[in-house]
Chains A and B, each alone.
Chain A
Amino acid sequence: MFGFGELPKEYNVKIHGPYDPAVYYGPKDTPLSEVKLGQLPAWLSRRSKNPVDWVRAGSRGYWRWSHKYLFPKHSGIVPVVQMAVGLSFFFWALNMSDIRKHKLQKYHW
């Protein structure tokens, strides 16, 4: 149902080897960093509209971050600090409407 608990349809063990949750197995598109400004609407229109794909993209991002910072043998304190800063930012954005009540000035010209 909605692809829960299933491997991506594009994944083929014979070609891709062992499944890596950090890797996107679908067709390759130009990365966002190489997209020209004029091509941006076309690029955006090629993005998936399916929320399941959005969740999968987030999961792949988490796994890429884990492989890069969390899984090395000597990972150190960096992943902890990154997680702490990221969560701080997330909850700051979440509580922004409450924090705004602590404004010192009424007007900002």
Chain B
Amino acid sequence: MLSRLAITAGSRNSGSFIWGRSSAALSTAQPLSNNAPVIIQESPERDLVNFPRRQRPIDAPPVRLGFLPEEWFTAFHAKTGATGPYMFMASVGTYMISKEIYVLEHEFYSGIAFAGLLMYMYKRLSPDVGTYVDGLVQAKEDQLRSIRQNEIDRCQASITEEEKAQWMATSYESLIQAKKDNVALQLEAAYRERLAEAYSQVKRRLDFQMERVNVLRRVEQKHMTNWIINSVKTSITSKQEDEALKQCVADLKALAAK
């Protein structure tokens, strides 16, 4: 149905289709990465300076001692130097232990043992577990991306299909034109045939008329001659015949004398 509409539009617009969105831009679209520009139609009032669109980071920011943010340490550097934060922690810890604000009871020692065990397990297992978990994350991400990519591919396939259909529709147009030409040729042939027919018919009638006149004249002539001959024959008497015969004999004698 769309193809037919396109044909009618194309015949008005001499075959150049104007698309709302260029299909070339879509066909060159890469599989999207995290940094690919996202084109989203938004309100003109949108404040992207103070409220930028959030980007998902790839890696977590660096930490020290396994959990303390790096920037907490760098904030001290201007005043205390690189070891300042550690000195701060050591002094505060010494103070809290000395004044028994932090009481070194049984759970403190069991905590140390537990933390050591966990650190050992982490060092031992983290490479394998890390690769396994990264694989899971990547598989999930690929699956989620494939939903979008499949939709893009499907749309692109339907666009190319539609373009092909329209292209094929243009061939139908020329086919129809050829059929029209064919019909025009047939009409021309029929017209000429009839023209020839009319000519031959007229000629036949004119020939008939001419023949009729000829026949009439011939018959009249024949009749006239017959009539004249008959009337001459009937006008000749036996006396005249005899005279003629005698004249002939006299002529022959005159000839013989010579």
Contact = CB atoms under 8 A, between A and B. Distances in A.
A71 B67 contact: no
Interface in A41-93: 67-69, 71-79, 81-82, 85
B56 A71 contact: yes
A102 B105 contact: yes
A74 B130 CA distance: 9
B100 to A, nearest CB: 5
Interface in B45-63: 45-48, 51, 53-54, 56-61, 63
Nearest to B34: A73
Nearest to B99: A108
A79 B51 contact: no
A17 B103 contact: no
A72 B56 contact: yes
A73 B126 CA distance: 16
Given A15-B45, A77-B126, A102-B103, A72 B98 contact: no
Interface string B115-140: 00000001000100010001001000
Nearest to A76: B60
B249 to A, nearest CB: 150
A102 B60 CA distance: 39
Contacts of B107: 99
Contact of A16 (B47, B67, B100): B47
Contacts of B241: none
Given A23-B51, A108-B98, A72 B46 contact: no
Contacts of A72: 56-60
Interface string B210-254: 000000000000000000000000000000000000000000000
A74 B58 contact: yes
A73 B137 contact: yes
A103 B103 contact: yes
Contacts of B105: 99, 102
Nearest to A28: B50
A14 B47 CA distance: 8
Given A73-B141, A82-B67, A99-B103, A14 B56 contact: no
Contacts of B137: 73-74
Nearest to B107: A99
18 contacts: A16-B47, A17-B51, A17-B53, A20-B51, A22-B54, A67-B54, A68-B60, A69-B60, A72-B60, A73-B58, A73-B137, A74-B58, A78-B66, A81-B66, A81-B67, A82-B63, A82-B67, A105-B100
Given A68-B60, A102-B105, 15 more contacts: A14-B43, A15-B43, A15-B46, A17-B48, A18-B53, A20-B51, A22-B54, A71-B56, A72-B58, A75-B60, A77-B126, A78-B67, A100-B100, A102-B106, A104-B100
The 8 tightest CB contacts between A and B, nearest first, are A102-B105, A14-B43, A72-B57, A81-B67, A82-B67, A72-B60, A14-B45, A16-B51
Interface of B: 42-43, 45-48, 51, 53-54, 56-61, 63, 66-67, 98-100, 103-107, 122, 126, 130, 134, 137, 141
